[in-house]
Amino acid sequence: MNKLIETIDLTKIYGEKETSVTALSSINTGFNENQFTAIMGPSGSGKSTLLHCLAGLDKVTSGSILINGVDLASLNDKELTKMRRDSFGFVFQAFNLIPTLTAEENITLPSSIAGRKPEEEWVKQVIETMDIGDRLKHRPNELSGGQQQRVAAARAMASKPEVIFADEPSGNLDSKSSKELLVFMKSIVEELNQTIVMVTHDPYAASFAERVIMLKDGEIANDLDNPTQEEIVSQVTSLTEI
Amino acid sequence: MFGYTKRPLFLIAWKNLKTYPVRILLTTSSIILGVAVIIASSIFSESNKSAFDNLFSGIYEGIDLVANPVQEDFANDFSDSRGQGPISFELKKIPDKRIQEIKDLPGVKDAWGEVFGFAQFIKIVPRDCRSHTYERECTETIFISNGFAPTFGGSWDTSPYAKQWELIDGKAPENNKEVVMDKTTAENNDYSVGDRVTVLAGSTPASFSIVGIADFANVGSPGGATFALFELKTAQTLLDSKGQVDLVNIVIENNADIETVRTLIENLDKGGLDVINAQEAAAEQADGIKQGLNFFNTILNVFAGIALFVGAFIIQNTFRILLLQRTKELSLLRALGTSKKQIYRLVLSESIFMSLIGSGIGIGLGIGLAVVVKEGLKYFEFGLPDGPLVLTTEAAITGAIVGITVTILSSLLPARKASQVSPMEAIRESTLTPKLKSLIKRLIFGSAVTTLGFALLFGVLYDFLDLPSLSGLQQVGFGAGVIFIGISIITPSITKPFVFLFDKLYEIVFGILGKLATENSKRTPRRTASTASALMIGLTLISLANVITTSFKAQAESVVGEVVKADYQVSAAQVFVSPGIPTGLADELIELEEVTELSRSRATIVGYEERPLILGAVDEAIFDLIKTENVSGSKEEFAKPNSMGVLKQKAERDNINIGDEITLTIPEEGEMTFTIAYIFDWTTPPPAEFFLLLENYTFFSNESLDTEIYFNVKDKNEATQDKLDAIVSDYPGAKLRDQDGLVEEANNQIQQLLNVIYGFLSISVFVALFGITNTLSLSVYERTREIGLMRAIGTYRKQVRRMIFVESSIISIFGAFLGTGLGIFFAWSLIKALEDEGFSNFTVSVSQTFTWIGIAVISGVIAAILPAIKASRQNILEAISYE
Ligand SMILES: Nc1ncnc2c1ncn2[C@@H]1O[C@H](COP(=O)(O)OP(=O)(O)OP(=O)(O)O)[C@@H](O)[C@H]1O
Ligand SMILES: [Mg+2]
């Protein structure tokens, strides 16, 4: 399998000297194309920081991140923005949608910004899979939390990005909606060859992934391939107990 | 130990202000500007007042008494005359011999006569000729003046007690070839001792040598007037005062009683001399001028009021936005048990803090503004006296009180609203969509007010309504005011439909960014509307002024074109300095082969029923050169000896008919009787009301001046123009203009006035632009997350900036169109109201209207630069991180 993303000695330190916090220290790993990866770890272990760095939303302190061999640090703001727009998709934990735009407009927002026509067939398919076809003309405040997250996921899919970054996408959802979303994410990886990097707290959510990276104090504590939910739970408890 | 604060709310208020200095500055920016304008206008007028005090105490410095001749009161006799031509009835003066008589009186230390009148410094400079076929050198005559200030001439006082003028260079004038120039004029025009200068006093100019430069009361010259000071005899000759003086200045002995001396002097010529106490006169005259200046003050205050009114809109707006942002915080306070009243007080105490800060900065800025205005006026040579800037405590307090009051009043409503925040808001994610119901209520109420305003206005304009105790124009103003308030109430409700008009266009041009921008302005219609309203006020006034002046100009043009049929008009260049044109000019012109037809106008004063009357005389050609209307009788009859023409108005007023006989007392001729042969209407300002044919009477040739000359030429080309210019340039008191020149002159006057008005109105537009910056910054702040999200999913910085610009263009287009529309309508109403005064022309200059709209929109976009940059630089992570 192809390494889509590679990190080399990735280190992120917040703040100066005495008050500095090392959020990530010397992370060396990679993310394969067409794989569903979950990042887990206790609160404050650096999960979000890692995701933000990978997605070019935050600058690394040292080390580098290569996307298809290109060092993110070598890109200027404009090139980074373009990369986020054309190659990445995002689903955040909350506030994913522009309140003044309808669900449909939110879904096609990345291509609208790029001044491109969205691929209609594909968007239709995404919408169908997300089961939000009847909600397209509604504004976000008229949608339930689960529907909002699904719209966000549809947006992340619609522009056919190389990788989707998701930070606790199901964090705000009830178990039913949460399951729906995860099933969908899994299906697009399997059926549509999508690549997904997802941060989560929830072992159940992580069990949908093919690979689970465990973080602790900014370092990779474990890297599991196709773990079962039980394995994940035991790993998590061991991490929190120590 | 836990910290315990006695006044937690006060602490919160204070912390808030300390944490967000930018917010305070944004909110108070409009108060600052409003107060600054008040302070500046007060400083400006106070400084002028003190300058005039200095001026008059300067005029009378060292003098105890002033003897003036008693004038006959002719004012009433001329009050019903429409004549605007020269009215040169005899001014009473004091004979020279009286000065010596006064000097000889007991108690008088010294007395000296003073002559005073109009005189004009002239610079004649060479210029390129229009055509190259003419062999003479072409010149241009420049009348030297300091802005609008008058041009005076007078006598140089030689008494050791005279202190008005102080020689700062050279010497006093000693013969009829020497002149002393005032310091201001010398400095402004680069004259120094030894230079030669031409002075026009009366109708013939003469060349003088500048022998001295003099300073008046340390301000250069009184009120910026130009002053030509001659030796007394010369001044008497030039200023039409041979053997006499205009007034006598008197200094008394130290031990003499001023009243006793006063009575002694008056007794020298009982009933002919009016002797006044100089110091009292100084105070009195300064007061008089100050009263006159009050008008100017009122105007400044009106503009300050407009700026504050606009400011109030913005303050209210800003408060509302700030509080909306703090909804969570406030509702948390409520949830924790803070009462509504306490919240209300919290918000009010914040607004008091802000008003204090704003007013303080405003006063400081006002001082700066006053300096700028003063220097600006100096630059444009406005001719107000110079002097130090004066800020009275009174003015500072007034400014502060107004600033504080406006701020607090504008924060009352938002504060009340804030206090009604439910404790639940803290838990709910609040949406920004306004309640439709309140908008509909607004629409209904606002429409009712607007309709009432229209009803009032049209009622007044079409004469089926008359408001008691208001003049016609005030009634129109009242109606306009009501309409304005109504529209202001409606605007939030029509924001959506208005923006809707642009929706599609913006989406096509700017894509999704256009859509986002329009959606944003629709999402907060009240904010969009009140920001736009601020701009609307400024543009209403600007387009009102613009349309009125355009219409006046068009009117002037059509009047000149209709009324003056002659190719050229010659008139007195400076009516005060020289009331007419030497007759030699007309004689020279008529000799020219190019001149086909010419008419002179002259006037003299005669007696009619024991009262003075202006009698005019014209050449027969006048009826071809000026539009006149035949009422009855005929021109042919008028041309016969002993016939007289009379103006229609005079004939109607005094019931004069064809065939009536009029007996006049002509100086040096005695009584003469004329028969009314022609009644006509003279459509320009006529030189007189009774007319004779010039060539029929010799007594007019005693008058050495023509008031006007009209003539036609064979072929109006550049060579002819050069030839005419050359001839007229020998008579520097005369001014030659063709039709275009006449129109241009009328237009220039209007334009100058308009520029001043624009200058002041731009202050309110400036305040409004601050409002746009304000609103947009806060709106950007409010949408931190949204913008962060957009950036995260790949929106370029450039695109974010563009989105903010588009949003600001919507606000400014909204304000600009509403304002321009209202302004044009108000202008139409005003002109309609002035119909009876002869105003009929209503012209809207499309290009100027759109220029102003364009300026407003561009300024609106400029006002968005800072918020746009701020938005595009926003930290993405901060924006998307979940609190
Ligand atoms: N902007 C910041 N400034 C300073 N320190 C920060 C900042 N953001 C994160 N940190 C610190 O970096 C460490 C990692 O934070 P991060 O948000 O990545 O944790 P996380 O694993 O996502 O936690 P959670 O599960 O609670 O979301 C934490 O100790 C946090 O306090
Ligand atoms: Mg996190």
Both B425 and B540 in a single domain?
A: no
Tokens of B757: 């008005």
Residue A43 Cβ inside 6 Å of ligand 1? The answer reads: yes
Residues of B in contact with A98 (CB under 8 A): 516, 786, 789-790
Residues of A in contact with B519 (CB under 8 A): 100-101
* Surface-to-core class of residue B329, CB atoms within 10 Å of its CB (0-12 exposed, 13-18 middle, 19+ buried): middle
Lowest mean pLDDT among A58-67, A132-141, B407-416: B407-416
How confident is the model over B156-182, as a mean pLDDT? 90
- Shortest Cα distance from B425 to chain A (angstroms)? 15
How confident is the model over B200-221, as a mean pLDDT? 84
Does B85 score more than 50 pLDDT? no
Chain A interface includes B256 (CB < 8 A):
no
Does B129 score more than 80 pLDDT? no
Q: What are phi and psi of B481, to 5 degrees?
A: -60, -45
Both B593 and B687 in a single domain?
A: yes
Dihedral over alpha carbons A52, A58, A61, A66 (to 10 degrees): 70
What pLDDT does residue B1 have? Answer: 41
CA A241 / ligand 1 centre spacing (Å): 20
Choose the mutation target among A49, A50, A52, A57 for the interface with B, i.e. most B CBs under 10 Å: A57
What SS3 string covers chain A? Answer: CCEEEEEEEEEEEECCHHHCEEEEEEEEEEEECCCEEEEECCCCCCHHHHHHHHCCCCCCCEEEEEECCEEHHHCCHHHHHHHHHHHEEEECCCCCCCCCCCHHHHHCHHHHHCCCCCCHHHHHHHHHHHCCHHHCCCCHHHCCHHHHHHHHHHHHHHCCCCEEEEECCCCCCCHHHHHHHHHHHHHHHHHHCCCEEEECCCHHHHCCCCEEEEEECCEEEEEEECCCHHHHHHHHHHHHHC
Chain B interface includes A101 (CB < 8 A):
yes
Both B682 and B797 in a single domain?
A: no
How confident is the model over B491-505, as a mean pLDDT? 83
Dihedral over alpha carbons B219, B224, B230, B236 (to 10 degrees): -130
- Shortest Cα distance from A237 to chain B (angstroms)? 26
Both B67 and B183 in a single domain?
A: yes
What pLDDT does residue A165 have? Answer: 93
Please check whether residue B525 is in contact with residue B435, taking contact to mean a CB–CB distance below 8 angstroms. no
Chain A contacts in chain B segment 429-448 (CB below 8 A): 431-433
The residue among B690, B717, B732 that closes a domain is B732
- Distance CA(B702)–CA(B666), nearest Å, equals 12
- Distance CA(B212)–CA(B183), nearest Å, equals 9
Coil vs helix vs strand at B427: coil
Please check whether residue A172 is in contact with residue A93, taking contact to mean a CB–CB distance below 8 angstroms. yes
How confident is the model over B125-150, as a mean pLDDT? 73
What pLDDT does residue B438 have? Answer: 73
Tokens of A23: 């959020």
Tokens of B737: 């203009």
Chain B interface includes A183 (CB < 8 A):
no
Residue nearest to atom 26 of ligand 1 (CA): A43
How confident is the model over A115-138, as a mean pLDDT? 86
Which has the closest alpha carbon to A211: A26, A2, A39?
A39
Q: Nearest Cβ partner of A113 from B431, B785, B795?
A: B795
Q: Nearest Cβ partner of B512 from A86, A90, A109?
A: A109
Does B88 score more than 50 pLDDT? no
How confident is the model over A136-149, as a mean pLDDT? 86
Residue nearest to atom 22 of ligand 1 (CA): A48
Lowest mean pLDDT among B9-23, B49-63, B605-619: B9-23
Categorize the per-residue pLDDT at B382 as very low, low, confident or very high, splitting at 50, 70 and 90. Answer: low
* Surface-to-core class of residue B381, CB atoms within 10 Å of its CB (0-12 exposed, 13-18 middle, 19+ buried): middle
How confident is the model over B319-323, as a mean pLDDT? 74
Residues of B in contact with A114 (CB under 8 A): 794
Contact criterion met (CB < 8 Å) for B519 and A88? no
Q: Which of B69-78, B237-246, B513-522, B817-826 shows the highest mean pLDDT?
A: B817-826
Tokens of B652: 């109607």
What pLDDT does residue B604 have? Answer: 80
Question: What percent of chain A clears pLDDT 70, i.e. is strictly above it?
Answer: 98
Could you list the residue range(s) of the whole structural domain that residue B654 is in?
579-732
Q: Examine residue B447 and state whether it is found in any structural domain, yes or no.
A: no
In the 8-state DSSP scheme, what is residue B701?
G
Categorize the per-residue pLDDT at B234 as very low, low, confident or very high, splitting at 50, 70 and 90. Answer: very high
Q: Examine residue B836 and state whether it is found in any structural domain, yes or no.
A: yes
Categorize the per-residue pLDDT at B83 as very low, low, confident or very high, splitting at 50, 70 and 90. Answer: very low
Q: Which residues contact B51 (CB under 8 A, 6 or more apart)?
A: B219, B384, B385, B386, B387
Cα B541 to chain centroid distance, Å, stands at: 14
Residue A23 Cβ inside 6 Å of ligand 1? The answer reads: yes
Distances (CA, A) of B206 to B120, B184, B213, B303: 11, 22, 19, 46
Lowest mean pLDDT among A6-15, B347-356, B683-692: B683-692
- Distance CA(A178)–CA(A147), nearest Å, equals 10
CA max distance for chain A: 55
How confident is the model over B723-734, as a mean pLDDT? 84
- Distance CA(B570)–CA(B595), nearest Å, equals 13
Chain A residue with the nearest C-alpha to that of B519? A100
The residue among B690, B705, B732 that closes a domain is B732
What pLDDT does residue B728 have? Answer: 86
**ipTM > 0.90 for the complex:** no
Q: Which of A227-241, B111-125, B512-526 shows the highest mean pLDDT?
A: B111-125
* Ligand 1 atom closest to Cα of residue A52: 18
CA A41 / ligand 2 centre spacing (Å): 10
Categorize the per-residue pLDDT at B90 as very low, low, confident or very high, splitting at 50, 70 and 90. Answer: low
B297/B707: higher pLDDT: B707
Coil vs helix vs strand at B557: helix
Contact criterion met (CB < 8 Å) for B799 and A113? yes
Q: What are phi and psi of B503, to 5 degrees?
A: -40, -60
Tokens of B675: 């028969």
Q: Examine residue B102 and state whether it is found in any structural domain, yes or no.
A: yes
The residue among B237, B262, B288 that closes a domain is B288
Residues of A in contact with B515 (CB under 8 A): 101, 105
Categorize the per-residue pLDDT at B429 as very low, low, confident or very high, splitting at 50, 70 and 90. Answer: very low
Contact criterion met (CB < 8 Å) for A58 and B796? no
Residue nearest to atom 27 of ligand 1 (CA): A43
What pLDDT does residue B209 have? Answer: 94
How confident is the model over A76-93, as a mean pLDDT? 88
CA A226 / ligand 1 centre spacing (Å): 27
Does B75 score more than 50 pLDDT? no
Categorize the per-residue pLDDT at A139 as very low, low, confident or very high, splitting at 50, 70 and 90. Answer: confident
What pLDDT does residue B82 have? Answer: 36
B380/B849: higher pLDDT: B849
Both B120 and B262 in a single domain?
A: yes
Residue A44 Cβ inside 6 Å of ligand 1? The answer reads: yes
B669/B232: higher pLDDT: B232
Does B513 score more than 70 pLDDT? yes
- Distance CA(B735)–CA(B446), nearest Å, equals 56
Chain B interface includes A84 (CB < 8 A):
yes
Q: Examine residue B468 and state whether it is found in any structural domain, yes or no.
A: no
* Ligand 1 atom closest to Cα of residue A168: 27
How confident is the model over B739-766, as a mean pLDDT? 77
Q: Distance from first CA to last CA of chain B, Å, rounded?
A: 30
Please check whether residue B774 is in contact with residue B26, taking contact to mean a CB–CB distance below 8 angstroms. yes
- Distance CA(B423)–CA(B428), nearest Å, equals 10
Does B415 score more than 70 pLDDT? yes
Which has the closest alpha carbon to A36: A156, A168, A184, A208?
A208
Does A203 score more than 70 pLDDT? yes
Q: Examine residue B669 and state whether it is found in any structural domain, yes or no.
A: yes
What pLDDT does residue B181 have? Answer: 94
Please check whether residue B363 is in contact with residue B39, taking contact to mean a CB–CB distance below 8 angstroms. yes
Both B515 and B427 in a single domain?
A: no
Chain B interface includes A3 (CB < 8 A):
no
Q: Of all helices (H) and strands (E), which one includes residue B853?
A: helix B846-863
How confident is the model over B775-793, as a mean pLDDT? 82
What pLDDT does residue B78 have? Answer: 43
Q: Which of A232-241, B413-422, B586-595 shows the highest mean pLDDT?
A: B586-595
CA B327 / ligand 1 centre spacing (Å): 27
Does B738 score more than 90 pLDDT? no
Both B728 and B749 in a single domain?
A: no
Our mutation pick for probing the ligand 1 site, out of A47, A165, A198, A202, counting the most ligand atoms within 8 A of Cβ, is A47
Q: What tens digit of pLDDT does each residue of B810-831 get? A: 888 988 999 999 999 988 888 8
Q: Examine residue B474 and state whether it is found in any structural domain, yes or no.
A: no
Amino acid at residue number B142? I
Q: Examine residue B554 and state whether it is found in any structural domain, yes or no.
A: yes
| Cβ atoms < 10 Å from Cβ of B154 | 22
Structurally, how many domains does chain B consist of? 4
- Distance CA(A64)–CA(B191), nearest Å, equals 76
Please check whether residue B781 is in contact with residue B322, taking contact to mean a CB–CB distance below 8 angstroms. no
Amino acid at residue number B833? A
Q: Nearest Cβ partner of B793 from A84, A100, A141?
A: A84
Residue nearest to atom 29 of ligand 1 (CA): A44
Both B158 and B171 in a single domain?
A: yes
Our mutation pick for probing the ligand 1 site, out of A49, A165, A202, counting the most ligand atoms within 8 A of Cβ, is A49
Both B658 and B756 in a single domain?
A: no
Half-sphere exposure of B848 (CA within 13 A, CB side): 16
Categorize the per-residue pLDDT at B431 as very low, low, confident or very high, splitting at 50, 70 and 90. Answer: very low
Does A70 score more than 70 pLDDT? yes
Both B40 and B63 in a single domain?
A: no
B673/B474: higher pLDDT: B673
Cα B698 to chain centroid distance, Å, stands at: 46
What pLDDT does residue B79 have? Answer: 39
Distances (CA, A) of B272 to B100, B147, B183, B194, B817: 16, 37, 36, 42, 65
Angle of helix B512-523 relative to helix B525-563, nearest 10 degrees, comes to 100
Which has the closest alpha carbon to A80: A52, A64, A51, A57?
A57
Does B131 score more than 80 pLDDT? no
The CATH number of A3-241, from 3.40.50.300, 1.20.1250.20, 2.60.40.1840, 3.40.50.2300, is: 3.40.50.300
Domain boundaries, chain A: 3-241
Q: Of all helices (H) and strands (E), which one includes residue B878?
A: helix B876-880
Please check whether residue B877 is in contact with residue B786, taking contact to mean a CB–CB distance below 8 angstroms. no
Contact criterion met (CB < 8 Å) for A52 and B515? no
Q: Which residues contact B280 (CB under 8 A, 6 or more apart)?
A: none
- Shortest Cα distance from A78 to chain B (angstroms)? 6
Residue nearest to atom 6 of ligand 1 (CA): A14
Residues of B in contact with A78 (CB under 8 A): 796-797
- Distance CA(A139)–CA(B504), nearest Å, equals 19
What pLDDT does residue B883 have? Answer: 47
Residues of A in contact with B876 (CB under 8 A): 57
Please check whether residue A178 is in contact with residue A205, taking contact to mean a CB–CB distance below 8 angstroms. yes
Residue nearest to atom 17 of ligand 1 (CA): A48
Tokens of B793: 């999913």
Q: Examine residue B629 and state whether it is found in any structural domain, yes or no.
A: yes
Amino acid at residue number B291? Q
- Shortest Cα distance from B43 to chain A (angstroms)? 50
Q: Nearest Cβ partner of A93 from B786, B796, B882?
A: B882
Q: What is the mean pLDDT of chain B?
A: 80
A207/B841: higher pLDDT: A207
How confident is the model over B620-638, as a mean pLDDT? 85
CA A45 / ligand 1 centre spacing (Å): 7
Q: Of all helices (H) and strands (E), which one includes residue B604?
A: strand B595-608
What pLDDT does residue B13 have? Answer: 67
Contact criterion met (CB < 8 Å) for A114 and B794? yes
Angle of helix B512-523 relative to helix B797-833, nearest 10 degrees, comes to 60
Q: Chains A and B: how many Cβ contacts under 8 Å?
A: 80
Q: Nearest Cβ partner of A57 from B511, B519, B876?
A: B876
B244/B554: higher pLDDT: B244
Contact criterion met (CB < 8 Å) for B793 and A92? no
Contact criterion met (CB < 8 Å) for A95 and B520? no
Residues of A in contact with B791 (CB under 8 A): 81
CA A27-A28-A31 angle, to 5 degrees, is 110
Residues of B in contact with A109 (CB under 8 A): 512, 790, 793
In the 8-state DSSP scheme, what is residue B686?
P
Chain A residue with the nearest C-alpha to that of B433? A100
Does B8 score more than 80 pLDDT? no
Categorize the per-residue pLDDT at B174 as very low, low, confident or very high, splitting at 50, 70 and 90. Answer: very high
Please check whether residue A91 is in contact with residue A152, taking contact to mean a CB–CB distance below 8 angstroms. yes
Choose the mutation target among B432, B499, B512, B883 for the interface with A, i.e. most A CBs under 10 Å: B512
What pLDDT does residue A170 have? Answer: 80
B352-357 own/partner pairs: CB under 8 Å, 24+ apart: B352/B404, B352/B407, B352/B408, B353/B13, B353/B14, B353/B17, B353/B24, B354/B17, B354/B24, B354/B27, B354/B28, B354/B31, B354/B407, B355/B28, B355/B31, B355/B403, B355/B404, B355/B406, B355/B407, B355/B408, B356/B404, B357/B24, B357/B28
Contact criterion met (CB < 8 Å) for B794 and A88? yes
DSSP string, B794-826: T--HHHHHHHHHHHHHHHHHHHHHHHHHHHHHH
